[in-house]
Structures are given as structure tokens and as C-alpha cells.
A and B are shown apart, each in its own frame.
Chain A
Amino acid sequence: MPDNVANSPLLEVDDLRTTFTIPTGDVKAVRGVSFTLDRGRTLGIVGESGSGKTVLARSIMRLNLGTNVTTTGTAAFDGNDVLTRSPSEMRQLWGSEMAMVFQDPMTSLNPLVRVQRQVTEHLCRHLNLNRSEARQAAVDLLREVRIPDPDTRLRSFPHELSGGMRQRVCIAVALACEPSLLFADEPTTALDVTVQHQILNLLSREQADREMAMVLVTHDLGVVAGRTDDTMVMYAGTVAEYAPTVSLFADMRHPYSEALMRSIPLTSFPSHTRLAAITGRPPDLIDPPTGCAFSPRCPYVQDHCVNEAPPLVEIDDPAHRLACWTPVGSPEALTAFEKNLAAGLPQAVAVDVSTTWSPTGGVDG
């Protein structure tokens, strides 16, 4: 591989916007997202439902089906924009270069087809293997994703496998042709906590062994912590904060990241710890707010926040990017918070009455 290719980012997304047209209007699901992902790195995309995290991943994979979807911007994979590729060119890319693991392992496998064919289908198409070679490759893959007794399992139908097993099969299918980029869209949300742990370990192991880049999409901050190099926090179709995972968790600067963190109960908290819930609801993406999307729920909101959307800019640490006018911990934030509290703004009051929270404090409870 030439040096210049190896050094350029694997994926470079610039101002990606995805809109769904529905009878009641245009849902702006992704509203201008830019990021880069280097080879062999892992990126965690965290957000709640409606944050656009899944739509973003599917837009890059060109898997947003339907005629009512428009995607603009660029998503350069290996230097070539995938958004302008023809369907047949995309088919070349799917499986061999980019692959995806979905949330629901039951629906992403064809219930009428045995595991063997689901796994070997891609192998045959992309690697031109004959039947026995493909079968051997499938056995190896199942063994690699730690499925016990792979020879028997190849003859099973998906419904004969447990949820965790099915997700392992999906991972095997995704890894079959050695992709250089794997999207894992909430891969463990449907699974039990012990199985989730195994699957995440498996994904981390495979990612490291294959030097494959991975995008881990999840709603759970706990899933990205310790498993990703960088984390991107999304809110209402935009990037709120983007930073190396370690520095993000050490110093959450966006009020939304902070609030999200505050609202999760941790096993380290004593029982009956009052949680700092985020008041209100995410904005309507048909008619999103002109200013910062989080401003209606933000305890530090000022007039400026409502009127103008903050750009995503680098702060002190160049790798730490933030879209906020009043970052957590800044003097402006403190002044704004006290003013909001005095004015009795519900989101400020809600934060104030919670026992674990202090407006000047860092992330640690």
C-alpha cells in the first residue's frame, strides 16, 4: 500500500445532511455533520433516539432506502465520495470494504436461509471461492467469532440460535470479506448485559486483530467508554461534542454531554441517588430551532444560544471539538446558570435540586 494512501484518512465526511420527506414536512435527520476516521481507529457515535446517529451511519453506507431520502455533502471513503457512486459500484464496496452489523440480529438474517448460505454468500461473490473452500472459510469465520461447534451451526436456521449467537453470525457475515471499515449500529442493544459484554469484547478483538476501522453507534455512554478511540456526541442531527474518548469523559464541555452523563444511574452511586434528568424533549426535526438545538433544555441558555447556532470549533486541546457558546465550567456558563436559576427556568431549577450536581463542578459526582 503506498504511503500517501496509508496516511490519508479512511473516511472523511464533510457537511453531510440527510432529509426525509414525509407528508407533514421535511425531517432534517442529519444536519451538517463532518468528521474524519483514520485507518484502524474506532469512533463511537453516541446519541438518543432521534439524534441522527443511525441515519448518519446508514447515509455513509448508502443504506437509506426509499425515494423520500435526500443526502447532500460528501463522504469520502479512501478518497472517493461514496454518495455519488452508482448502485453497482456501491455493491462492490459493501461487504468487501464497508460492512455493517445491525441492532436486531433476528431481522438482519434471512429466517428461511441456513447460516451456511448467509455466511458464504458474500464470500462466493467477492472472493470467487468454490463451494468447499467457501464452506471451510465459513467454518473458520464462525470459529473466529467464537461459535462453538461451527460445523453443526452452519446447518442451523437463524431462529434456532440465541440472540447472542445470531449477532455473532451477523458479525461473521460482516467480517467475511475483510472490510476496512465496520459500522456497528447498536449491535448489543437487543442483547442481555452479559452477552453484550462478550459481543463488545469480540468486536474490539476483531477490530484490533484486523486493523479495521470501526464506527460504534450507540445510545449508551458506557458502551463507548473504554472501547473507542474517539467519541462523537450527537444531538438533533448535529455534532455537539467530538473528542478523544478519554478526554471527553474526563472533561465533558457540552451541556448536553454533561446532562446525558448526569442522567445515567451508575452502579457506583449509592441507592436512591437523585438523578439529574434533562427536562423537556428533543426538538422537532421538521422545524428545528434556529439557534443551538439544545438551548430549550439547556440550564446555561442565553439569548445568544437561541438566536445563533454555535459552530463546531476546537477548544484548548486541538482534538477536542465543541459546538457551544457557554461550555460547561466556563465563567459565562456559571453566570448564565445563576441568571436562569434566579429567573426560575425549569431546566436550571431541575438541575439545582438534584443532590449530586454542582454547576461549577466537573464530571465527577
Chain B
Amino acid sequence: MAGTGKAHLRPGDDVLVTVEDLVVEFPVGRGRTVKAVSGISFDIRSGETLGLVGESGCGKSTSGRAIIQLPRPTSGSVTFRGVDLADLSDEEIRQRRTHIQMIFQDPISSLNPRRTVGDIVAEPLRVWGPSDASEQEAIVDRMLDSVGVDPDTARDKRPHEFSGGQCQRISIARSLVMLTNRGNLHRSRRRSRSSSRSRGRGRGRLLICDEPVSSLDVSVQAQILNLLEDLKAGYGLTMMFIAHDLAVVKNISDRVAVMYLGKLCEVADPDTLYAEAAHPYTDLLLGSVPEPDPTVEIDEGLIEDGELPSPSNPPSGCRFRTRCERVTDLCSSEEPQMRAVGDDHFVACHHPLAAVAG
């Protein structure tokens, strides 16, 4: 199918997840469907943080959920540790959930209001073991402690007694219990603890963060971002960080992919992307970020309506052409393919802002 190309996919053994031609459709009634994601490809290396950025409705959250197969994508492949998850049965997917975890945007909604914090964080252990109660409690305490929540005061409380930031910490603790304690099933405590210190231990464990700081105050947002960086380093996690805030994505990512209306526009390392945006949409996004500096010139000209076209009836060719200043006839007739414009810098645009390398 005519996707946006795969030039940006990287070969090699250290690639943990490869997503190819991912399509996710949702029924909208009367037999019609809307394509939330229409053929995107990307990969994440072990130990890397991929930032996925875009505006609401661009399909970034849906892409993240498609990796954990909730719901299963309509077509395309998600290769995790060399296995295509689409080929697996529900039970096989369930077995693999210990390697892929997700944290959500609304920290309060992602915790069951009627269960205690200790109970919530221990849930993965009830499913996967160890079943010994005191061992479970020790793991829960250790994880709560590592996310900065005092286990003694928190254990018996319910989520609504905590602030949004703390709920997000608890939610992260639950994911970590999954990602770091699977080894306890078969191995001795001692061995798993010593190996969890080495970076290689967490290799192949993916944490998908779906807008984890969007509903938090800025000061709390910084706490959570720092925490995620620390945990990633401490447990050697691989992360996919989905957000609409460009500054946040730049801060935490090793590689950034920009999405628009179900397609990828541009992929690059964050410093390059923000300094030399090649896709007009990336440029528009960057120009729209309100900088907390009154001396920065604001482009007052942008005042007309330029909103997302309906995903159920996307424009032909390049999806951004209806809002693009550089639009030509080519843009409506032919869909641009992903191509390199620099060292590890890829763009899907017929008329990129930077000169095409080579």
C-alpha cells in the first residue's frame, strides 16, 4: 500500500520494536470506518526513547495502544523482539504483557478508585507472581519507594486521596512492578536483584507513556519527567513517549517522530529536528509553541483558521497540503515518501524546508 515509506527504519539487532504499515480503523457507525492511523512505520532501539508528537486526533495515542494490541491494529505488523505480535493469539499476547507496559494521560482515571494503592500496585504480582504475600509486599514497597511515594503512608489509601502527580507516580510504580519483577517467577530474589542493576537487564522492556504529564501542573510535570529519566537509566527501559507538547518531547526523547492526521511527517533526533525542521508542519508546530520569553518575536499573522481536516475524509496526496504554504499540484496528486534530508533526519514532504541530502 502507499504508505509514507520506510526509509527511516534502521537495521540491526538492537532494534526492540519495529512497526510497519500500521493501520488502525475505528467503526463510526452505519458500516463506515475512520482511519485513526493510516500506514505508519517506525522503530525503537533498545534503551532509546522515541518521542511521538502531534496534535489531538493525529493518531499518536492510537499508535501507542496498537503496540500493546489494545485494540489490535487493523493491519500492519508490530515486531517486538523479533516476533510479530499480530500473529500471536490473545493468550500469547497476554504472556508478553510483562515486557510492554503503558502509562496513561489521566493518572486518576487509570487507577481504580475503589482499591487501595498497595492493592493496585500489587495487581501484576497477583497475575504473574510471586504469590507469596510478604514477597509481594516487599516488591510493592520497593517500587513505591523508587517512584518517590512513601509506601507506609500510601499503601492503605485510595487513589482519590492523592494529587494527580502522585497518582501518576503510583501508576508508574505499577508498570515497573510488571517490567522489573518478571524474573522473580523463576529466579531467586538475589539473582534478579543483582541483575536489575546492570543496564542489560531491562533490555527488551518497553514502557509506553501516553501523554503522562499533560494533565499535570508544570512543577509536577518536571518531577515526573525527571523520574522517568531516572527510572529509564536505572532499569534500562526503552520508552515510547507520546505527547502534544513539543518542548516536553524534546526534553525526554532520543529520537522524535512528528505525526499528522494518521501519517508520519518527519523523524530525526530532537536537537536536529528542532533546529532544522524540514517539514512545513513541524515548522508550524514549532512556531506555535508559546515561549516564556517576552523578547521572542511572535508571528501575529497566524490568525486564520487552520485546523485538522476530518480524518474520515483526509485530503489526497500529502495530508498537510490544505494548511501548507508550500503546496503545489504535486502535493495533491502524489503522496510524499519518507526520505533522508540529513544524517538520521527523514522527512515525508515534496518540498522540504531543508535541502535534500545527496
Query: Which one of A192, A261, A272, A281 contacts B252 once the chains associate, using CB atoms below 8 Å?
Result: A272
Residue of A nearest to B217 (CB): A48
Contact across chains for A267 and B286 when beta carbons are under 8 A apart = yes
Output the least CB separation between A187 and chain B (Å): 12
Query: Which one of B163, B217, B221, B291 contacts A267 once the chains associate, using CB atoms below 8 Å?
Result: B291
Chain B residues, Cβ within 8 Å of A277: 219-220, 222-223, 225-226
Output the least CB separation between B165 and chain A (Å): 8
Contact across chains for B302 and A201 when beta carbons are under 8 A apart = yes
Contact across chains for A222 and B219 when beta carbons are under 8 A apart = no
**From B284, B293, B302, residue with most partner A Cβ within 10 Å:** B293
The docked-state distance in angstroms from the alpha carbon of A264 to that of B213 is: 12
The docked-state distance in angstroms from the alpha carbon of A223 to that of B292 is: 7
Chain B residues, Cβ within 8 Å of A261: 292
Output the least CB separation between A13 and chain B (Å): 24
Within B202-250, the residues touching A (CB, 8 Å) are 217-223, 225-226, 229, 244-248, 250
Contact across chains for A222 and B290 when beta carbons are under 8 A apart = yes
Query: Which one of B219, B248, B288 contacts A265 once the chains associate, using CB atoms below 8 Å?
Result: B248
Asked if B5 lies at the interface with its beta carbon under 8 angstroms from chain A, I say no
Chain A residues, Cβ within 8 Å of B274: 267
Query: Which one of B219, B221, B250, B305 contacts A146 once the chains associate, using CB atoms below 8 Å?
Result: B305
- Chain A interface residue count: which class? 35 or more
Decide: A264 near B247, CB < 8 A? Known: A272-B229, A272-B252, A277-B219: yes
The docked-state distance in angstroms from the alpha carbon of A362 to that of B244 is: 30
Chain B residues, Cβ within 8 Å of A273: 251
Contact across chains for B269 and A198 when beta carbons are under 8 A apart = no
Asked if B289 lies at the interface with its beta carbon under 8 angstroms from chain A, I say yes
Chain B residues, Cβ within 8 Å of A200: 290
Decide: A222 near B300, CB < 8 A? Known: A260-B219, A265-B251: no
Contact across chains for B303 and A263 when beta carbons are under 8 A apart = no
Within B247-274, the residues touching A (CB, 8 Å) are 247-248, 250-254, 269-271, 274
The docked-state distance in angstroms from the alpha carbon of A219 to that of B292 is: 12
Chain A residues, Cβ within 8 Å of B290: 196-197, 200, 220, 222-223, 225-226
Asked if B307 lies at the interface with its beta carbon under 8 angstroms from chain A, I say yes
The docked-state distance in angstroms from the alpha carbon of A161 to that of B210 is: 26
The docked-state distance in angstroms from the alpha carbon of A264 to that of B247 is: 8
B50-61 interface code vs A (CB 8 A; 1 in, 0 out): 000001100000
**From A259, A261, A281, residue with most partner B Cβ within 10 Å:** A281
B293-317 interface code vs A (CB 8 A; 1 in, 0 out): 1111011111111111000000000
Contact across chains for B247 and A197 when beta carbons are under 8 A apart = no
Asked if A204 lies at the interface with its beta carbon under 8 angstroms from chain B, I say yes
Contact across chains for A194 and B285 when beta carbons are under 8 A apart = yes
Query: Which one of A162, A192, A264, A271 contacts B218 once the chains associate, using CB atoms below 8 Å?
Result: A264
Asked if A361 lies at the interface with its beta carbon under 8 angstroms from chain B, I say no
Chain B residues, Cβ within 8 Å of A270: 271
Contact across chains for A271 and B303 when beta carbons are under 8 A apart = no
Asked if B82 lies at the interface with its beta carbon under 8 angstroms from chain A, I say no
Chain B residues, Cβ within 8 Å of A6: none
Output the least CB separation between B164 and chain A (Å): 8
Residue of B nearest to A221 (CB): B292
Contact across chains for B226 and A274 when beta carbons are under 8 A apart = yes
Decide: A219 near B300, CB < 8 A? Known: A162-B307, A194-B284: no
Contact across chains for B288 and A164 when beta carbons are under 8 A apart = no
Decide: A263 near B300, CB < 8 A? Known: A147-B305, A197-B290: no
Residue of A nearest to B248 (CB): A265
Contact across chains for B217 and A222 when beta carbons are under 8 A apart = no
Asked if B287 lies at the interface with its beta carbon under 8 angstroms from chain A, I say yes
Chain A residues, Cβ within 8 Å of B250: 265, 267, 269, 271
Residue of B nearest to A202 (CB): B303
Output the least CB separation between A141 and chain B (Å): 15
Asked if A193 lies at the interface with its beta carbon under 8 angstroms from chain B, I say yes
Contact across chains for A193 and B223 when beta carbons are under 8 A apart = no
Residue of A nearest to B165 (CB): A281
Contact across chains for B55 and A259 when beta carbons are under 8 A apart = no
Query: Which one of B286, B287, B300 contacts A205 once the chains associate, using CB atoms below 8 Å?
Result: B300
Asked if A119 lies at the interface with its beta carbon under 8 angstroms from chain B, I say no
Query: Which one of A48, A220, A267 contacts B246 once the chains associate, using CB atoms below 8 Å?
Result: A267
Contact across chains for A271 and B222 when beta carbons are under 8 A apart = no
Output the least CB separation between A198 and chain B (Å): 6
Query: Which one of A194, A221, A276 contacts B55 once the chains associate, using CB atoms below 8 Å?
Result: A194
B185-210 interface code vs A (CB 8 A; 1 in, 0 out): 00000000000000000000000000
Contact across chains for A278 and B222 when beta carbons are under 8 A apart = yes
Asked if A266 lies at the interface with its beta carbon under 8 angstroms from chain B, I say yes
Contact across chains for B296 and A278 when beta carbons are under 8 A apart = no
Decide: A198 near B247, CB < 8 A? Known: A222-B292, A270-B271: no
Output the least CB separation between A223 and chain B (Å): 5
Decide: A226 near B298, CB < 8 A? Known: A264-B222, A267-B274: yes
Query: Which one of A162, A225, A269, A281 contacts B294 once the chains associate, using CB atoms below 8 Å?
Result: A225
Contact across chains for A271 and B251 when beta carbons are under 8 A apart = yes
Asked if A195 lies at the interface with its beta carbon under 8 angstroms from chain B, I say yes
The docked-state distance in angstroms from the alpha carbon of A306 to that of B300 is: 45
Decide: A246 near B223, CB < 8 A? Known: A147-B305, A265-B250: no
Contact across chains for A271 and B292 when beta carbons are under 8 A apart = no
The 16 sampled A-B contact pairs (Cβ below 8 Å) are A48-B217, A146-B305, A194-B306, A196-B288, A197-B287, A198-B302, A201-B301, A202-B303, A223-B290, A225-B292, A267-B286, A267-B291, A271-B253, A272-B229, A275-B225, A277-B223
6 more A-B contacts (CB under 8 A) besides A201-B301, A221-B218?
A165-B305, A193-B285, A197-B290, A225-B296, A263-B218, A271-B269
Chain A positions near chain B (C-beta within 8 angstroms):
48-49, 146-148, 162-165, 168, 192-198, 200-202, 204-205, 219-223, 225-227, 245-246, 249, 259-279, 281
